[in-house]
Structure 1
Amino acid sequence: MPTGVAIRDPRQQLFDAAERILLRAGPNALTSRAVTAEAGCAKGVLHRHFADFDAFLAELVLDRIRRLADLEAALGEAAGTGTVAGNLAEALTDLFDAVAIAVVGLVITRDELRARLRAAGSSGIPLMTEASAMLTGYLAAERDLGRVAADADVDLLAATLLGAAHLLFADREAGPPDAAAVRATVATVVAGAVR
């Protein structure tokens, strides 16, 4: 590896490299050597910006969790517009891009990573827990607007939607489901609650 070459945004360059590896080869291929080779930088660059590889992975996941804020804002603004099922289907499709699916796999397979994320304040399955809270917030807003039944258990609906959508999107070999399949799944889950 060349030395003395300035890297514009080393943290983002390393995150991007890790995401490419996750997409191409899955969580088991993710090593510090693989990430730095993919990023085209010396291994020391990763350790200059992160205490160790697990700290890097935790920041990678936390970065992905922070990205939910934009999706959560858009979903919140959609409350009262369009259809509840349509808004949810769009949000779930945006949520479960290929990188998010790979990140969930990464979190599930690495005990030390989950421990670090929990120490940072995340619970359950990090990323999925925050996504569930986002869906719960949206469904509660729709309930307040009268578009979801007053007695609907929005926490249970959110968890069910998240699990069903994850199953649809999780097949790395087949690729993402078509929009009709996502809409049909969402419509089935919320059918009894939507007014």
Structure 2
Amino acid sequence: MFSKASSFVLLLVAALFLGVHAIPATSKPALSPDQALSPDQSSSVTSETSSVEVTTFVQRWDSLSQSFTQTQSTFEQRVDVSVAYQSVQTLCQSYQSTVTEYQSCPSCSRGLAQSNFRTQFQQTITTMYTSFQRIIIVGQANYRAQWQTKFAQLFQRMSSFGRFCQTIALSLHLDLGALLKGLGINLNLFVNIGIDLGGLLGGPSGGLLSNLLN
């Protein structure tokens, strides 16, 4: 009896062991051709991403242009110094956001040239520079006591403004100096708040234009 029972147990264990090893291992099914991205689909995804990046930058640029206009309007209303200062803070933040957006948009240097942004840039860049100059002139007159200690320091956050505009202009195959010529831009006004445009526009740093672009 004991021998038969032992044999039965051994047979049962062997059957279980063989049954376990007989179960095939599960594996993930291979992607069908329809499920895998084709080269054309990958290209389409990349193109759509680039388009979104360019559109986002253009929106940032438009907001920056509006910020210049709004800050100029605020200054010309002779508001309290704290309100004027806040408007400059908003302008600086808008500028920094625009720069950051451009830096994170590798497709912008080529994508902008292939869009309608070239015309928009030509229109808005003149607005920005004339508004910027007006802000400086009115600010120095209305907030003389706080100009150097508060406003001029704040504007230094935009010290790269000239270089940034020049970078975009070059990507669009535009001559920034030619666009600004005739606007009466006084380069020294910008230099006094830490924004040197001379080397870019041919002013004090040695170029074809005089200190006054007219």
- Per the normalisation by structure 2, the TM-score is 0.34
Higher CA-based Rg: 2
